[in-house]
Amino acid sequence: MTQLILRRLLMSIPLLLVVSLVVFVLGSLVPGDPAQTILGVDATPDAVAALRDKLGLDQPWYAQYFHWLSGVFHGDLGTSLYSGEPVVTTLAERLPVTLSLVSLSTLFCMVVGIGFGMLSAVRGGFLGRVVDTLSLAGLALPNFWVAVVLVTLFAVKLRVFPATGYTPLMTSPFYWIVGLVLPVCALSLAGIATIAKQTRSAVLDVLDRDYVRTFRASGVSEWSVLLKHALRNASIPVASVIGIHAIASLDATVFVENVFVLPGMGSLATQATLDHDLPVIEGVALYFTVIVIVVNLCVDIAYGLLNPKVRTA
Amino acid sequence: MTIATSTENSAGPSAGGAGAAPAGVIHAILRTPVGLACLIYLAIVVVACAIAPWIAPHDPLFQDLHAIGKGPNAAHLLGTDMLGRDVLSRLLYGGAYSLGGVLTAVVVLLIVAVPFGLLAGYAGGRVDRVISRVIDVAMSIPVIIILLAVLTIFNRNMTAAMIVFGLLGSSGLIRVVRGNVLSVREELYIDAARVIGLGPAQIAVRHVLPRTSGAIIVHVSIFAAISLGVQTGLSYLGLGVPPPAPTWGGMVGDAATVIQTNPWLLVPSGGVIAITVLAFGLLGDVVRDATSERAKTATGRTRLARRRGATADQKPAAAVVRDATAALLEGPNSAALLSVRGLTVAFGADDAATTVVENVSFDIFRGECVGLVGESGSGKTVTALSVLGLLKRVGRITGGSVSLEGHEISGLPEREKRRFRGTEIALISQEPMVALDPSFTIGDQLAEVVRSHARMKNKRVSRAAARKRAVELITAVNIPDPEVVAKRYPHQISGGQAQRVAIAAAIAGDPKLLIADEPTTALDVTVQAEILDLLRSLQAKNGIAVLLVTHDWGVVADLCDRALVMYAGQIVETADINRVFQLPLHPYTKALLEASPHLAVEGEPLPAIPGSVPRPKDWPTGCHFAARCRFATEDCLAAPVPLLKVGEERASRCIHTDQLMPEGRLVPEAVR
């Protein structure tokens, strides 16, 4: 188990290098002069040259990359071309918003998706069709569109939830959660659908197994069969779908944060794209990759905890 | 968006199965209404968007200041936006942009993924390892952020972004293709092609690729759905072509700014995206179902045939209602521990039910061991499981009664059935390794059984006490180091030990009857003997009656007092064990005994019964065994053969028992 985690962590190092390198190489292809961009068209050639020298722009791209990389090890991701603030500072402000969204959405999808999946596996028929329809809707409706509709309905028309804005958890847990209800719903539709579908098929699969018959033949209650044995064994494939959803919802924050004007990393990345602010994009890419790695690690650990064959290996 | 979902789903086993030639796949799509509808919709949308400049009713950029924010009307079929531009025209022009992006991504995906997938699967070895490692890394890349970087660098060039999207998405398809190639390349006709002298490239293109095309189409259509979501999402953010040029995503964005005054605008823009994404997704589902069904065509045909045969099966069952053995087996025997009368079991829904167990009657008395013998497919296991009410969803009891100590138990609700399961009648399954839950320790599972028995008797047993009892049970089935084994998981013990544990679970509730379904079949010969010894000692010590389901006469001879021989859903002979071995009175019993390896004469070839057990839908009206019987005459098939009493406490479902008797003894014994 520990070995598995260590191996995973080792494998994530090349991943981080690849992602940062790709973004960097792409960045070095940008036409135009970043120093000129920063200083504006009115800057004197001398000032531009000085800044170029300061930013190391005259060096070849690999030298620049190593410079950037050594900065990463010192907790320095450069400064935003647009605001002039250190990227690390900006990201530290933005990270909690995106993490709140992703973790709440994942939790919500887990509870509702597994609940729906279990119910439709046991009751079948009508609920099964509900899950099917829901999963079609979850696949078809683009999350930014769902987000806009949710805003229209619940924020503009009914005025039960705020349309925009974010309150930090530490300031007010109540307003934190109220502000996140609609964005989390918009993020979760697809996740609920896929998790419910996976849960249903996994539970049905387990209920057909011999050991379920053994327990039934021994007079063990149907509740125990379902909630203990079926759910426990079904949770192994479901765990990987939950991990996939967490990663997908991280990507989707880029769209949803924009609709709800949440000051997270996704909206930051969008703004940076419009501003040609590469250091910020590079920083967001690094953080996103780390989150993906952490999620995958969590899924691996969950596997280990749920599946004794992995744990005892 | 959900790129990871797609790749995982289609990399799964469902899509990895048998592929199909492209022509077959298209045929399959056209045959299902959903597939046809999706295909027609996509064709219309694609063509309409492609020829937008010729068919669009208005210039997408023209602002009609007299028609601002109008709903659908004759001049503007889908209305106009807040600048007076025609929504339908904008959708048509925007579609060319959005669908063009999807096409770009899909083309890149195919160009990259197919060759690399084929290479990884076909070359194997180091090439495969390198490609697989690269894929592992690529699949963890945060796609949207990379796309944002690309859009920054290439100055909002959506084509560049979609090329990169196709590139990043290809890792999933490479996995799918590789997996398919690995399964196809082992097949015989690939070897044959190799022998003929075709090169690897030729084999790949001519033989492997067609078989993989089903899985590729599934993946591509789902990928197209996701690409459209991403493409429109990026346009929504204003990261693509700048306004006023129309894009589907941009139109959602425009609509979002005026939701208070004109919510209608969200409908056409969101609707066309949703329906197009749905059409791509459903198309993938249809192809997946079609390709996985292809592998099952044979079973499908069987099912159909079985349904047709079902009506014919009802007749014999009804005709044998008045059995001649009624004297021997009249009504449930309240003196017996278990009394089964006229048990009939059917599979399938009401209108398509197939009878698989027909009018089965027998008694089991306290402490005796009865063998239920027959070939596979004779209905032994179904009979045994229906006693416990544990038929799977597909099967149900359609007639007869099962009574335990004089109380009817077959019609009880599930909750009531729990009262006798484990505590009155317990079950040991055929496959010990899959009869235990892999996620819990042996001790936990036994403890749970102990506690649920206690709960049924309204007693409470503490966790510690249940745990102690679990260890006692493990000791009782002669497993060394019971404390250690209790802490183990099923995968950490041997098959023989697992079967002992299963027996321990079965005896946990002190049952009066143990139903053992082929308890030794899956085990090694030496272990078999040990398990039989264990069953015998439990029977002797605790006075448990055993219904032993088996096809092995050796096991019957070893353990049983009586034998019930089953063939094609019916009991064909019932007799005391010694008499069965001395003088079988049904041709099937005789043939089965002769074919038993235990009773074979050394040096002579082992006789086998020609033919095989007919499937339920093929059962004849008359004797089910007639087709394989050397004594069969026309009379055998004329009418259903009842179970006939032959001598003392013996019955046979044969009208030619006299021919099985030694000369001179036949008449008096048979008549009595």
Interface with A, mutate which of B98, B139, B143, B237 (most A CBs under 10 A): B237
* Between B42 and A218, the higher pLDDT residue: B42
Tokens, residue B324: 């001649």
Please tell me which of the candidates B145, B282, B441 has its beta carbon nearest to residue A284.
Answer: B145
Mean pLDDT of A257-278: 87
Residue that is last in its domain, among B297, B312, B333: B297
In a domain, B53, yes or no: yes
- Are B538 and B530 a contacting pair, CB within 8 Å? no
Q: Which residues in chain B have Cβ-Cβ distances shorter than 8 Å to A245?
A: 5
Please tell me which of the candidates A140, A152, A312 has its beta carbon nearest to residue B259.
Answer: A152
Assign 3-state DSSP to chain B and report helix, strand, coil percentages, each to 5: 55, 10, 30
For B180, B201, B372, the CA distances from B195, given in Å and listed in that order, are 21, 14, 51
* Residue B192's CATH number: 1.10.3720.10
Predicted pLDDT of residue B602: 67
Indicate the Cα dihedral angle B266, B270, B271, B275, nearest 10°.
180
Mean pLDDT of B67-72: 79
Q: Which residues in chain A have Cβ-Cβ distances shorter than 8 Å to B426?
A: 217-218
Mean pLDDT of B304-320: 33
Residue that is last in its domain, among B250, B281, B297: B297
Mean pLDDT of B273-300: 72
CA distance B282 to chain A (A): 8
Contact between A272 and B229 using a beta-carbon 8 Å cutoff: no
Q: Which residue of A has its CA nearest to B240?
A: A274
Maximum distance among all Cα pairs of chain A, rounded to whole angstroms? 87
Q: Do B174 and B28 fall within a single domain?
A: yes
| pLDDT band with cut points at 50, 70 and 90 for residue B484 | very high
Q: Which residues in chain A have Cβ-Cβ distances shorter than 8 Å to B144?
A: 251-252, 254, 269
Starting at the earlier edge strand, list the strands of the sheet with B570-576: B425-428, B513-517, B545-550, B369-373, B562-567, B570-576, B651-652, B644-645
In a domain, B177, yes or no: yes
The residues in B 345-404 lying below 8 A from A, measured between CB atoms, are 385, 388, 390, 392
In a domain, B536, yes or no: no
In a domain, B19, yes or no: yes
Predicted pLDDT of residue A312: 67
| pLDDT band with cut points at 50, 70 and 90 for residue A38 | low
Torsion angles phi and psi, residue B3, rounded to 5: -65, -35
pLDDT per residue over B363-389, tens digit each?
A: 899 889 999 998 888 888 889 888 888
pLDDT greater than 50 at residue B583: yes
Q: Which residue of B has its CA nearest to A148?
A: B256
pLDDT greater than 90 at residue B111: yes
Contact between B427 and A248 using a beta-carbon 8 Å cutoff: no
Q: Where are the beta strands (DSSP E) in B71-194?
A: none
In a domain, B310, yes or no: no
Mean pLDDT of A132-152: 83
CA distance A157 to chain B (A): 8
Q: Do B290 and B436 fall within a single domain?
A: no
Contact with chain A for residue B163, Cβ under 8 A: no
Residue that is last in its domain, among B297, B313, B341: B297
Mean pLDDT of B467-476: 92
pLDDT per residue over A193-207, tens digit each?
A: 888 888 888 888 888
Mean pLDDT of A175-187: 90
Predicted pLDDT of residue A267: 92
Task: Please state, for a pLDDT cut of 90, what percent of chain B lies above it.
Answer: 17
Give strand pairing partners of B399.
Answer: B344
In a domain, B407, yes or no: no
Interface with B, mutate which of A102, A146, A158, A220 (most B CBs under 10 A): A220
Predicted pLDDT of residue B317: 31
Indicate the Cα dihedral angle B197, B203, B207, B213, nearest 10°.
180
pLDDT per residue over B139-196, tens digit each?
A: 778 888 888 888 877 778 899 999 999 999 898 899 888 888 887 777 766 777 777 7
Contact with chain A for residue B41, Cβ under 8 A: no
pLDDT greater than 90 at residue A111: yes
Which DSSP state fits B599? G
How many domains would you assign to chain B? 2
Other CB atoms closer than 10 Å to residue B211's CB: what's the count? 21
Predicted pLDDT of residue B11: 35
Q: State the amino acid at position B404 in one-letter form.
A: L
Please tell me which of the candidates A26, A221, A291 has its beta carbon nearest to residue B153.
Answer: A26
Q: Which residues in chain B have Cβ-Cβ distances shorter than 8 Å to A278?
A: 149, 152-153
| pLDDT band with cut points at 50, 70 and 90 for residue B300 | very low
Cα–Cα distance, B590 to B379 (Å, whole number): 19
| pLDDT band with cut points at 50, 70 and 90 for residue B5 | very low
Q: Which residue of B has its CA nearest to A296?
A: B140
Report the range out of A218-232, B94-108, B171-185, B255-269 with the highest average pLDDT: B94-108
| pLDDT band with cut points at 50, 70 and 90 for residue A31 | low
In a domain, B464, yes or no: yes
Predicted pLDDT of residue A30: 63
Q: Which residues in chain A have Cβ-Cβ distances shorter than 8 Å to B440?
A: 229, 232
Predicted pLDDT of residue B311: 35
In a domain, B243, yes or no: yes
Predicted pLDDT of residue A313: 59
The residues in B 426-445 lying below 8 A from A, measured between CB atoms, are 426-427, 429, 431, 434-441
Show the domain range for B188.
4-62+86-297
pLDDT greater than 50 at residue B322: no
Give the contacts of B484 (CB within 8 A, at least 6 positions apart): none
The residues in B 491-510 lying below 8 A from A, measured between CB atoms, are 491-492, 502, 505-506, 508-509
Q: Which residues in chain B have Cβ-Cβ distances shorter than 8 Å to A139?
A: 225, 277-278, 281
Q: Which residues in chain B have Cβ-Cβ distances shorter than 8 Å to A30?
A: 152-153
Cα–Cα distance, B145 to A254 (Å, whole number): 8
pLDDT greater than 60 at residue B415: yes
Nearest to B498 by CA among B467, B531, B533: B531
Q: Which residues in chain B have Cβ-Cβ distances shorter than 8 Å to A282?
A: 149
Nearest to B149 by CA among A29, A72, A247: A29
Give the contacts of B51 (CB within 8 A, at least 6 positions apart): none
Nearest to B415 by CA among B471, B456, B376: B456
CA distance B12 to chain A (A): 11
Contact between B142 and A216 using a beta-carbon 8 Å cutoff: no
- Are B363 and B340 a contacting pair, CB within 8 Å? yes
Q: Which residues in chain B have Cβ-Cβ distances shorter than 8 Å to A228?
A: 448
Task: Please state, for a pLDDT cut of 70, what percent of chain A lies above it.
Answer: 93
Tokens, residue B568: 């094609």
Contact with chain A for residue B419, Cβ under 8 A: yes
Cα–Cα distance, A206 to A232 (Å, whole number): 10
Predicted pLDDT of residue B166: 94
| pLDDT band with cut points at 50, 70 and 90 for residue B310 | very low
Contact between B144 and A209 using a beta-carbon 8 Å cutoff: no
Predicted pLDDT of residue B110: 94
* In the block, residue with structure tokens 């609940």: A115
Predicted pLDDT of residue B581: 86
The residues in B 238-297 lying below 8 A from A, measured between CB atoms, are 238-239, 249, 252, 255-256, 259-260, 263, 266, 269-270, 273-275, 277-278, 281-282
Q: Which residue of A has its CA nearest to B254?
A: A148
Cα–Cα distance, A74 to A46 (Å, whole number): 30
DSSP helix/strand/coil, B358: strand
Starting at the earlier edge strand, list the strands of the sheet with B354-364: B354-364, B338-347, B395-404, B407-408
DSSP output for chain A: -HHHHHHHHHHHHHHHHHHHHHHHHHHHT-SS-HHHHHH-TTS-HHHHHHHHHHHTTTS-HHHHHHHHHHHHHTT---B-TTT-SBHHHHHHHHHHHHHHHHHHHHHHHHHHHHHHHHHHHHH-HHHHHHHHHHHHHHHHS-HHHHHHHHIIIIIIIS-SS-SS----TTT-HHHHHHHHHHHHHHHHHHHHHHHHHHHHHHHHHHHTSHHHHHHHHTT--HHHIIIIIIHHHHHHHHHHHHHHHHHHHHHHHHHHHHHTT--SHHHHHHHHHHHT-HHHHHHHHHHHHHHHHHHHHHHHHHHHHH-HHHH--
Q: Which residues in chain A have Cβ-Cβ distances shorter than 8 Å to B392?
A: 208
Which DSSP state fits B613? P
Q: Which residues in chain B have Cβ-Cβ distances shorter than 8 Å to A262?
A: none
